[in-house]
Chains A and B, each alone.
Chain A
Amino acid sequence: MKPSKALILSIGCLVLATAVAKAEDAATTARTWTDSKGRQVTATFVGLQGDTISIQTAAGQIFNLPLTTFSAEDQAYAKSAKPAVTYVAVNATVGQAAAAVDALVVKGLLAGRAKITKDNAAATLATDKRELPKPNPLMTDEQFVRRVYIDIAGRIPNYDEAKGFLTDASPTKRAKLIDMLLDSPGYASNSYNYFAEMLRVKDRLEQDNLRGVDYITWMQKQIAENRPWNEMVYDMVTAKGKMWHNGAAGYLLRDGGMPLDNLANTLTVFLGTDVACAQCHDHPFADWTQRQFFEMAAFFGASDTTNRAAGMKTRELSEAAVALAEKGGGDPQRIRNGISNFIRANNNEVVDSDKNRMKLPHDYKYKDGKPNEPVEPKFIMWDTKKDKGNPAFKQSKSKEEGLRESFAKWMTHPSNPRFAMSIANRMWKRAFGQGVAEPVTNIDDPEKASNPELLKHLASEMVRVKFDLKAFMRIVYNTQSYQREATSEEVKMGEPYYFQGPQLRRMTAEQAWDSYMTLVVGDADKFTKPLDSLYGRSVDLDLTNEKLDAKTVLMKYSAFQGMAAKERALMGGALGSDDMMMQSKKGKGKDAAPDMMMENASMSFDGMVLRRAAELEQPERGGHFLAEFGQSPRMLIDGGSKAGSVPQVLMLMNGKAQQMLTNSDSLLFKTMDKVNNPADKVEAVFLSVLSRKPTLAEKDIAKRGIESAGSDGFSNLIWALINTREFMFVQ
Chain B
Amino acid sequence: MAVLSKEEAKKILEKVISFSKAEGCTTNLNGNERGNIRYARNSVNTAGENSNVALSVQSYFGKKSGSASINEFDDASLEKVVRRSEELAQLAPENPEFVEPLSAQTYGGESKTWTEATANITPEYRAKAAADSINPAASKDVTAAGYLEDSHGFNAMMNTKGLYAYNKDTGVDLTVTMRTNEGTGSGWAARTLNDVSKLNTAAISNIAIEKALKSRNAKAIEPGKYTVVLEASAAADLVRLMLNLNARQADEGRSFLSKKGGGTKLGEKLVDERVNIYTDPWNDEVPASPWSGDGQARKRMDLIKNGAVANLTYDRYWATQKNVAPTPNPGNAIMDGGTASLEDMIRDTRRGILVTRFWYIRAVDPQTLLYTGLTRDGTFYIENGKIMYPVKNFRFNESPIIMLNNLETLGKQERAVTSEGNPNGLIPSMKIRDFTFTSLSDAI
Is the A/B pair a real complex? Answer: no
A residues with a Cβ closer than 8 A to B are: none
